[in-house]
Structures are given as C-alpha cells and as structure tokens.
C-alpha cells in the first residue's frame, strides 16, 4: 500500500491541474498522486499525465461518484484529498499528513473559514451557505467542526474503508463530516489559507441546487443517525397540533354538553395517534441505530487489523505505470 496518496477529483480543470500537481510534489515528494478524471472535455487528463500523475477515469458524473471510486481503488496509510482548482495551498498538506500518521487522526479538516475564505470568496451566498451548514451540523450533532464543506482533507485508512458513500455530488463533504462525528472518530483541524479560483477557471458548484442538496443531506442523515431526536420532535409537533385544535372542542363540550365539531375531534384523535406512533418509532429506530454503531465498531476494528497486515506485508514488486 502507498504511504501517502494524494487524490484529486477533476472535471475540466486544465487551467489549474498542472500547478496543483507541481505544488503537491514540492510539498509531499514521497506521495503518489492520483488524478480522477470525471468526463472532462478539456485537456485535464493530458496535462495531469504530463506532470507525472496517475490518471484514472470515473464515468459516472458527480464528485460523490468520483470519491467512491477513489476510496475503493486506492490503499494508503494516509490519504490527502484536494480539489484540482488550485484554491488550497499545498504547503499545509504535510501538517495534515502528520496528524494522520503520528497523532491517530481519522479525518483532518483543512479549515478555510478561520482564515481567508470570507475575504477571498467572491460569492456571498456561498459564504452564507457555509456558515448555515456549519451551524446546523454543530448544533444538531453536538460537535465543533470548524469547516464542513472544505474540499481539502486528510483521512486514515480506517476512515476511507468504512465510509459508505451515498451522495453523488458536492454534498459528499457534509456526509463525510457527519459520518466521522457520529462514529466518534478523531477529527483534527488545520487552518489553511484559501484563494479564489484564478481567472478563466469556472466553479462547478451551483449555489442554489447544490445548497438545497446539502440541506437535504443534513436532514436525511439526522433522521438516520439520530432517529429518537428526529421522531421525538415530530411527535411533539403533532401532539401540540392535536391539543391546540382539541381545546376549542373541549371548551364547547364543557359549556353545552354537546360536541358540534365531530370532524375536528376525529382528526385530533388521529393526529394524536400519529404522535404516539412517531414517538415509539423513534425508540425502535434508536435501538436499531445503536446496534448499527456496535456493528460499525466491529467492522472498523477489522479494517484497522487489515491495514496493519498490509503495512507490514512484503512488497510484491509490481508497480502501476504512470
């Protein structure tokens, strides 16, 4: 297995990919650099090969699909994932690698938001979106992750081989963060500088479409990972609605001895039954989620044992051509 693998997902990044590879070689001369070409229509793949990177193709469009392919195919003690748009200075990569290899970090976040992101980024809705996503996840999952949407991260072998990639697009970073937080993995933070894309390089991120996808991912993962909290909130909302609509019916009955709004009474009864069912669904799913956490710990231990075997296994002598 590689000691350090640098993974660069790319879609039409001919303006910047050569510089990213050169900077990576200067910062991490011992690393193996993989460029995953995601149906680029420009010279991205050609330029990456000229710079000595190993180029592979992922034909299913979307960053999540690219990351799924990368994580399946590459074995390394430490992974660095960085975008091919030259917005992250690679001189911070060595510190991130050190935290994985020598300080037991499972994921290292390249934190843009604590440095130059809000000054360099020229898209105000992206600034607001990053802040909203960060606040939402930290509040819902009880964590203090500094940058949720960063594309500059380092991972351990254990994280990569146990991370279930479910997203297809840019919401993958949110999914990574929640997976690490929920499974109590060690998350470290390295403050990195951020620079906006150079002239002629175009962002593939759609502010509104991808923003709503990210929010939908947070909603889905909170429901899946924290079912008791999710369904308890739903139960409380339904119960409150049933009580509010039932009070006028009750007051009318106490005054006249008659129930004149039978449809309202019936609907209140069904809504209260739905609230009770929601509460108990949360209890059941919470127990299932706890079992899933136990299974994950067992699987994570086996993956770590597999890493140790590969790390100390004799080299086969077979290398991949560039």
For residue 235, the enclosing domain spans 227-312
Is-contact 23 97, C-beta < 8 A?
no
What residues contact 285, with CB distance under 8 A and at least 6 apart?
227, 228, 231
If asked whether residues 53 and 188 sit together in one domain, one would say yes
Nearest to 215 by CA among 305, 320, 129: 129
Say if 321 falls within a structural domain: no
Say if 320 falls within a structural domain: no
Say if 322 falls within a structural domain: no
If asked whether residues 35 and 131 sit together in one domain, one would say yes
Last residue of one domain, picked from the residues 199, 225, 251? 225
If asked whether residues 210 and 96 sit together in one domain, one would say yes
Query: What DSSP letter does each residue of 51-118 carry, written as one string?
Result: TT-EEEE--S-SHHHHHHHHHHH--EEEEEE--TTS-S-GGGHHHHHHHHHHS--SEEEEE-TTTTHH
- How would you write the pLDDT of the chain (322 residues) with one tens digit per residue? 789 999 999 999 999 999 999 999 999 999 999 999 999 999 999 999 999 999 999 999 999 999 999 999 999 999 999 999 999 999 999 999 999 999 999 999 999 998 888 777 767 667 788 888 899 999 999 899 999 989 999 999 999 999 999 888 888 999 999 999 999 999 999 999 998 877 766 666 666 787 788 888 899 999 999 999 999 999 999 999 999 999 999 999 998 888 888 899 999 999 999 999 999 999 999 999 999 999 999 999 999 999 988 887 755 444 444 4
For residues 180 and 311, give the distance between their C-alpha atoms in angstroms, rounded to a whole number: 23
If asked whether residues 12 and 156 sit together in one domain, one would say yes
If asked whether residues 158 and 246 sit together in one domain, one would say no
pTM: 0.84
If asked whether residues 97 and 246 sit together in one domain, one would say no
If asked whether residues 244 and 143 sit together in one domain, one would say no
For residues 37 and 58, give the distance between their C-alpha atoms in angstroms, rounded to a whole number: 6
Is-contact 4 24, C-beta < 8 A?
no
């Amino acid at each position: 297995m590689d000691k350090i693998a640098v993974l660069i997902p790319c879609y039409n990044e001919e303006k910047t990919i050569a510089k990213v590879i050169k900077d990576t070689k200067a910062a991490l001369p011992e690393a193996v650099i993989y460029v995953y070409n995601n149906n680029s229509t420009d010279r991205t793949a050609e330029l990456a090969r000229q710079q000595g990177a190993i180029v592979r193709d992922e034909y299913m469009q979307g960053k999540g699909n690219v990351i799924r392919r990368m994580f399946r195919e590459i074995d390394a003690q430490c992974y660095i994932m960085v975008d091919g748009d030259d917005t992250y200075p690679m001189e911070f990569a060595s510190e991130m690698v050190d935290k994985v290899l020598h300080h037991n970090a499972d994921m290292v976040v390249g934190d843009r938001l604590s440095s130059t992101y809000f000054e360099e980024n020229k898209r105000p809705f992206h600034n607001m979106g990053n802040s909203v996503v960060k606040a939402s996840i930290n509040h819902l999952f009880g964590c203090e992750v500094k940058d949720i949407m960063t594309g500059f991260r380092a991972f351990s072998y254990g994280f990569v081989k146990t991370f279930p990639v479910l997203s297809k697009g840019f919401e993958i970073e949110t999914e990574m963060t929640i997976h690490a937080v929920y499974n109590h993995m060690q998350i470290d933070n390295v403050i990195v500088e951020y620079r906006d894309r150079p002239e002629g390089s175009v962002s593939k991120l759609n502010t509104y479409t991808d923003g709503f996808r990210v929010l939908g991912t947070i909603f889905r993962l909170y429901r899946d990972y924290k079912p008791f909290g999710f369904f308890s909130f739903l139960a409380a909302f339904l119960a409150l609605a049933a009580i509010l609509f039932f009070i006028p019916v009750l007051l009318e009955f106490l005054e006249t001895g008659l129930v004149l709004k039978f449809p309202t009474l019936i609907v209140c009864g069904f809504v209260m039954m739905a609230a009770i069912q929601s509460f108990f669904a949360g209890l059941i799913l919470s127990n299932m989620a706890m079992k899933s956490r136990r299974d994950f710990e067992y699987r994570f231990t086996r993956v770590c044992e597999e890493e140790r075997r590969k790390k100390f296994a004799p080299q086969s002598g077979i290398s991949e051509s560039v």
